[in-house]
Structure 1
C-alpha cells in the first residue's frame, strides 16, 4: 500500500430536537432526544455498556459516547476490534437476528483498509485480534508468502468490507481475485486452507479465498465507494434449524451461508463483533448497534380498527370520513436487560389526519391521556416507560380520520420502537382507502370579464359527479358566500348546466373574484372554479377643442388642453396621436386627485414638425394604472401654409454717379434686402410686383421721369410707370421656404440716368406686393 497525506477528521454537527411526553402522574416519561444523522450520529445506536468490550492489548479501538465504536481512528497503521462480553455471546442453538450501522469514513478512493464482522471461539476470547494491520483487517493471518497461516483469529467466520484492493508487489496479493474494487465477501480466517501460497512471474505470492472459493468467479459483492461519509445498515440472521447465517449490507443482495458450527467454532456459544485496520492509507472505521441478540426480547404490534371493532388490515377498505383507531402495543418477553428509554415513532400516511385530543396510554402503572404536542404534522414521537418482566405491557392508542382520495389508495402503517438498548419495528399494516369520485365544476368563460359600473353578470358553467346524483353548489364572491343550492343531475354522468346572476350591487369597483365549488353527499369538495370579474371605471378625458376644426399656421405648434378624472385609479398616462401614427405618451404616471373623480387639467403643445400641411385628426386619451383606457377626444387641426415677407428693407438706394453723356443705368447698392417666406408647400407659385408710387425728385423740384426700369433675365427693359404694377420676380417653391430676392447686377430694378438731368439727390417711393398666383 502506497503512502498518502493524512486527512484530519471532520468536525461533526449534531442537531437536537427535544420532545416531551406529559401524563397525569407517572415520572418515567422523560423528554425525547433525537439527533440528526452525520459522522458522529448514525441513524440509530444503542448503549453498549456491559454489552461489548474492546481487546485489552493490540487494539486502537475506543467507544465514543457509550454507543459508537471507533474500530480504527482516522490515521495510518491502526487495527482494532470490539467483542460481545461473555454474557452476550451468540447462542447458535437458537434463532436470532442482529442489526447495526457501519461507517467507513469519507476518504473516497484514498480509503483503506476496511472492517470485518467476525464470529469466533478463539481461546483469547475478548482479547482476540490479528497482529496484522493493513490487509489483515485485524482478523486475517499475514499476507506474506510462507508466513504463518494461523496467526489470525482462530475458529472464526468473517464478513469482510474491504475498501482497498491488494494486488501488487507493494501492497501484496491478498485480493488477486477481487480486482473490481471495494468488495464484500465472507471467509474462515482461522483455517489454513483460506490462504494460498503460489509462485508466478518470478514472485512468491499469497492470496486468500473469498467466499471460500479460489478464483475470480468467487461471488464477491462490489458495492462501489464505501468511504463516502455514509452509514450503512448491516443485518445478521441466524437460523438454528438449518444452521444458516444470512447477512445483508444495505444496497446489496442478502447472502446465505450454511455453517458447520462444530467444524468452524467447536462450540455453540461464540463471541461476535467487528475488527478493522488501516495501513499507509487510512479511514475512520465505526460501528453502531441497533439490535443485539438476546439483550431484549420483545413483541411489538400495531392494530387498526373501525368504530365497530373490526380490524382493518390485509387490504381491507376504509372510506372517506371514517374514523379509525390505531392501537400500538409493546410486550416485554425476556432479556438480559430491561428495555430502557423507549421512544415510539410513527409517521401517518398522507391520506389520514390525526384527531386532536384522542391519544391515550396505558401500562401496569395506570393509564391517561397524552398531549397532542407529541405530534409534528403527521409524525408522532412519544416516550413510554422502561419495560421489564414486571412492567411488561404498554399500549398507546389514538384516532385518525380518513381523508378523501381520487382513486383507491393502498396505504401502509408501521411503528418504530427506539430504546437505548433495543430498536425494533412493528409488522406493516396494509389497507386501502376507497376512492370517492370528487365532483367537478367549471365556469364557461375563462375571463377576466370586464364590466362597466352598474352592469350585472350572468355566470354560467357545468358540474359533474359520476357517483352522486345531488351536489351542493356554493357561489362565493370576494370571500363571501352569495348563495348555496342543491342541484340534481338525475343520475347523469355527463356535465350538467348551472347558472347564477350576479347583480351590479354585489360587485365592487375594480377586481372581483368569483369561486364556485361543488360538494357531494360524502363531504368531498370539487376544485374551485374561479373567474375574475373586473368592474371598470376607466378614466374620462375632455379636450377643449374637441369636435372642432382648428386652423394652425404651418411651422407652428398646436397647443391642446383639457382635463381628466378617474374614480378608482392612482395614476394615469396621457396620450395623443396624430392621424394613424403611433400614439405618443405626453404625460407619464400623473397622480390622481386625493378626492378621486375630481377634474385634473392638462396642457401640451404638439411640436410643429409633427404637423405637416393639411388636415390632421388629433386624438387624446388616458390609460390608468390597471390598463383601462378612457374615451377618445378628437380635434381636426387644419395646417395651412402662407406667403409673406420675412423682411423688406425700408430704405434702398442706387449708386451715386456723374451725369453721363448718354443714358446710363445706376446700379443698386447692397442695402436691398427683400426676404420672402412661403410655407404653402413644394410646387406653390408666387410673384413679386413693384409699383412706383412717387416719382423720383430732388429738393429743387427736379424729377427723373420714366427713369425707374426693370430689366428681365433676357435684358429686356420695361419702364416702371408711375402707379403701374410691374412683375419683378417669379418663383415656384421647392424645398426652401425662405427666398431672398436677388437679381444680377445688371438685371432687376435699375435707375436709368439721362444726360440732361439736373444734379441732385433724388428720392422716390416703391410699393412691394406678393401675389399668390402664377
Structure 2
C-alpha cells in the first residue's frame, strides 16, 4: 500500500481504487532508469513503488487529482549507459506488460496506447491537443476549421499505435473532439485497434465548411469486454521482422498465478515501417517505444502499467526445483500439488540464467519469499552464482522472516557468471490438518532486468496420534435379544479432531471373528469432534462375555485397538460345566487319610441374572461308593475349605458347600479352579478301608439365595 509521504511526493491520489490497484499489481521491473516519465509537458504520469520492486508501476493518468481536468501521460524508452533508447526492428523482439484501467465500469477512462515512433521530439513526444479521445497519440480534433492534413500534424509523428480504448467517442459536434469511434466496431463498445496517428488518411471528415469533425478509420478493430473493472490485464506483443508483422494477445495471463490463459483478444497486424521513418520512404530500423494514455473531463481514472518484458532488458531462462532429500541425495522431485509428510527434508533451488549476459554484469537486488507456515521449518539458505560459494547467507533473523531482501554485493549476470540461484533447506513439521504450502517466489531486479522464479506448491499431510476410548460409564451389559449400543471417541493425542480427520477416518469393528465397518453397524459420527456410536446386533452376541475390538485408521495413521467387553445376560442360573466321570485317586496306607481328586475336575457356575444376585451350591451323595462285588467304602465324602477352616461331611442330604453374590451382570465362577489339592471335594477313608475300585454318584444342585 502507498504511504502518505510517498503519495504526496509522487502526486498520487490516495483514493481507494489506487490503493487496491497497487496492492494487487503483478510484480514488474524498475522503470526509472530505462524509461522517461518526466519529459512530456504537463504529463500526469508518475512512478509508484510496487510490492517488491521500487518504481515498478507507472501511473499514466490518475483519478481526478484536479476535478474536471483532462489528462495526458506517457512513458518512453530512454538511453541507459550503453543501452540505446530505441528498439531495433531488424530483429525479432517481444514485449509483455500489465495494464490497469481503473474501476469505473460505465464511466470509463479514455484508454491507453502502445506506441512505436520516430517523432523528432523523442521522449517529449505527445499529441498536441484533444487529450481525451487522442489517448495521447492520435490527432486532437479540437479545431473545427482544420483539414485532415492539418489534423494529422497534431499527432505523434512517424508513429504506429495499438490502442486499448475504453470510451466510445461518437458525439458529432465540431471542435468537441469526441467522434473518433462513431463508425463500425468501435462504436459498439470498448475496443482494440491500430493505425498510423500522423497519417491524414486515418481521419474521415464530417460537417460543413469551417465546422468539421472527424471519425477515425481504425485498422482491424476488435471488441473487448469493459476492462475498467478493477482488475489487471496482461498483454503480450511479438514482432517478426521477416513478415513485418506484430502479433498481440490481450488478457492472456492470470494476474494471481501468472499462468497463461486463452487470450480474450488476439490479432496479427502488418506494419509499414516506411511510415515510421522521418522521410517516409526508407523503412525504419529503430524506433522509440512507449505507452501513452489520456482521460477526458468527466471520465478520469487510474490508468497504470507494469512491465515484465521489454526488448532492451536482460532476458532469462529459469529453473525451479523443490526436492525431498535423503542425506545429500534427491529422493523425489516435487511437482505442483504433490504431498509431503512430516519429518521429510525439502530443498528449494530457484535459479535464473541470463540469456544475454553483459561483459561486466549488473547490480541486482534479490527478494525471496520463504514458506510462510509453521508446517515448514527453515533450516538454512543462501544466494549463490556457482552453486558452491555463498554470496549472501541468511542469518537467524532472515530465516524467521517471510520475506528476505538482499542486495547482492558483486555484479551479477555477467559473461563470467551468468546465473544466480537461491538455495533453501527446510524440514517438514507435524500438523494436525493438511496444510497447502503455496508456490514461493524468487525475484532478481535491477535497472536493466527483472526476473521471477516460482517454485511448485505442495501439501503437507497431517500426522496424527490417534487414540480411541470408550465413553460408556460401565461395562456394557444387555439382555438376550437386545442390541448393544457402544459410545466411543476418537482423539488426536487427547485433543478433539476436526471435520477433515473425521471424513478421512475408517472405523472397523471386530465381533466374534467377523469384521464390520461403521455403516454396517448403523454407526454415526456425533458432529465433528470425534465422538461416534454403533450398534452390535444381538445375533452377533452369545451369552456371557463377548470381546469387541474397535480399530480406527486415517491414511497412514492408526490408533491402538480399543477392546470392549459386552456381556449378554442369559437371565439364568446354571452350571456352565460339571464334573462328569471324574475320579478320586490315592493309595491306602492302613491309616486314616484323605484321598484327593484327579486333575480333570471342571465345575463352573454361570449367573446371568444380573449383579447382586445370590446363589448356593449344594452337594450330596446320591449313591454310596462300592466295589463291583458290593463292598462299601469305609469312609465319607467331605468338603474341606481351609480358608474358612471348615470341613463338611457330605451325606445323602444336600449340603451347601459354596455360596456367592454375583458382582457382574453376567458372571461365570470357576469353583473347581479355586480348590487346592487338599481343598474342595475329597474322600476321607478310615484305617480299615480295603483297597479296590469304588464307584458312586454325587448330586450337584444350584439354588437361589437366600
TM-score (norm 2): 0.51
- Which residue matches 2:264? 253
**Distance in 1 of aligned mates of 2:267 and 2:168:** 24
1:515 is displaced (CA, Å) by: 10
Gap runs ≥5 in structure 1: 1-7, 15-34, 464-472, 480-486, 498-511, 530-774
**Distance in 2 of aligned mates of 1:356 and 1:42:** 28
Gap runs ≥5 in structure 2: 1-10, 49-54, 255-262, 277-282, 478-484, 497-507, 520-528, 534-549, 563-706
Larger radius of gyration: 1
Q: 1:257 to 1:205 in 2, by over 3 A?
A: same
- Which residue matches 1:147? 148
Indicate whether 1:173 and 2:200 are aligned.
no
1:426 is displaced (CA, Å) by: 3.1
1:187 is displaced (CA, Å) by: 2.9
Q: Deviations over 1:65-105 (max 9, x none)?
A: 65544434534233332210141322334444434344445
Q: 1:261 to 1:300 in 2, by over 3 A?
A: farther
Partner residue of 2:43 out of 60, 65, 74 = 60
Indicate whether 1:113 and 2:110 are aligned.
yes
Q: Deviations over 1:494-521 (max 9, x none)?
A: 5389xxxxxxxxxxxxxx9989997769
- Which residue matches 1:426? 453
Q: Deviations over 1:409-459 (max 9, x none)?
A: 99984634152443333376588x7999999998887xxx6x5xxx66799
Q: Deviations over 1:507-548 (max 9, x none)?
A: xxxxx998999776985368999xxxxxxxxxxxxxxxxxxx
**Distance in 1 of aligned mates of 2:158 and 2:38:** 17
Is the Cα contact below 8 Å between 2:112 and 2:164 reproduced in 1? yes
Q: Deviations over 1:389-420 (max 9, x none)?
A: 16543332234567999999999846341524
* Structure with the largest fraction of helix: 2
**Distance in 1 of aligned mates of 2:429 and 2:552:** 14
Within-5 A mapping of 1:352-391: 353-363=375-385, 366=390, 369-371=393-395, 373-374=397-398, 381-383=404-406, 385=408, 387-389=412-414
SS at match of 1:219: strand
**Distance in 2 of aligned mates of 1:264 and 1:478:** 76
Q: 1:398 to 1:160 in 2, by over 3 A?
A: same
**Distance in 2 of aligned mates of 1:13 and 1:372:** 38
- Which residue matches 2:660? none
SS at match of 2:133: helix
Indicate whether 1:309 and 2:330 are aligned.
yes
Runs of 4+ in 1 over 6 A off after TM superposition: 314-317, 402-412, 433-445, 456-459, 473-479, 487-493, 512-519, 526-529
Q: Deviations over 1:563-586 (max 9, x none)?
A: xxxxxxxxxxxxxxxxxxxxxxxx
Q: 1:93 to 1:194 in 2, by over 3 A?
A: same
Q: Deviations over 1:323-356 (max 9, x none)?
A: 44221123344467725222123658x9x94243
SS at match of 1:193: helix
Indicate whether 1:415 and 2:445 are aligned.
no
Q: 1:319 to 1:443 in 2, by over 3 A?
A: same
Is the Cα contact below 8 Å between 2:467 and 2:491 reproduced in 1? no
Question: What is the RMSD of the two structures over their aligned residues, measured on CA atoms?
Answer: 5.4
Partner residue of 1:296 out of 314, 317, 329 = 314
Is the Cα contact below 8 Å between 1:114 and 1:277 reproduced in 2? yes
**Distance in 2 of aligned mates of 1:91 and 1:527:** 73
Partner residue of 2:132 out of 107, 131, 134 = 134
- Which residue matches 1:742? none
Within-5 A mapping of 1:208-287: 208-210=216-218, 212-213=219-220, 218-224=221-227, 226=228, 231-240=232-241, 243-249=245-251, 253-260=264-271, 262-265=273-276, 266-283=283-300, 284-287=302-305
Q: 1:314 to 1:373 in 2, by over 3 A?
A: same
Q: Deviations over 1:236-291 (max 9, x none)?
A: 34455664332424686242324346345322322111122233335244434344
Q: 1:408 to 1:193 in 2, by over 3 A?
A: farther
**Distance in 2 of aligned mates of 1:48 and 1:492:** 74
1:167 is displaced (CA, Å) by: 0.7
- Which residue matches 2:60? 71
Q: 1:263 to 1:304 in 2, by over 3 A?
A: same
SS at match of 2:123: helix
Q: 1:317 to 1:134 in 2, by over 3 A?
A: closer
**Distance in 2 of aligned mates of 1:393 and 1:384:** 15
Is the Cα contact below 8 Å between 2:341 and 2:463 reproduced in 1? no
Which structure is richer in relative contact order (CA contacts within 8 A, separation 6 or more)?
A: 2
Q: How many residues align?
A: 455
Indicate whether 1:394 and 2:420 are aligned.
yes
Q: 1:519 to 1:131 in 2, by over 3 A?
A: same
1:302 is displaced (CA, Å) by: 0.8
- Which residue matches 1:495? 517
- Which residue matches 1:524? 557
**Distance in 1 of aligned mates of 2:431 and 2:516:** 21
Q: 1:411 to 1:475 in 2, by over 3 A?
A: closer
TM-score (norm 1): 0.48
- Which residue matches 2:638? none
Within-5 A mapping of 1:196-207: 196-198=204-206, 205-207=213-215
1:174 is displaced (CA, Å) by: 0.6
Is the Cα contact below 8 Å between 1:180 and 1:222 reproduced in 2? no
**Distance in 1 of aligned mates of 2:492 and 2:435:** 31
Indicate whether 1:187 and 2:205 are aligned.
no
Q: 1:142 to 1:492 in 2, by over 3 A?
A: farther
Is the Cα contact below 8 Å between 1:55 and 1:128 reproduced in 2? no
- Which residue matches 1:646? none
**Distance in 2 of aligned mates of 1:163 and 1:261:** 26
SS at match of 2:412: coil
Q: 1:528 to 1:180 in 2, by over 3 A?
A: farther
Indicate whether 1:44 and 2:27 are aligned.
yes
Q: 1:220 to 1:526 in 2, by over 3 A?
A: farther
**Distance in 1 of aligned mates of 2:560 and 2:349:** 34
1:53 is displaced (CA, Å) by: 1.8
SS at match of 1:134: helix
**Distance in 1 of aligned mates of 2:194 and 2:37:** 22
Is the Cα contact below 8 Å between 1:323 and 1:399 reproduced in 2? yes
Q: 1:297 to 1:319 in 2, by over 3 A?
A: closer
Q: 1:261 to 1:461 in 2, by over 3 A?
A: farther
**Distance in 1 of aligned mates of 2:147 and 2:556:** 81
**Distance in 2 of aligned mates of 1:37 and 1:166:** 28
**Distance in 1 of aligned mates of 2:452 and 2:560:** 39
Q: Deviations over 1:129-188 (max 9, x none)?
A: 221222111111244673335322233222223232211124532111323333333333
Q: 1:526 to 1:375 in 2, by over 3 A?
A: farther
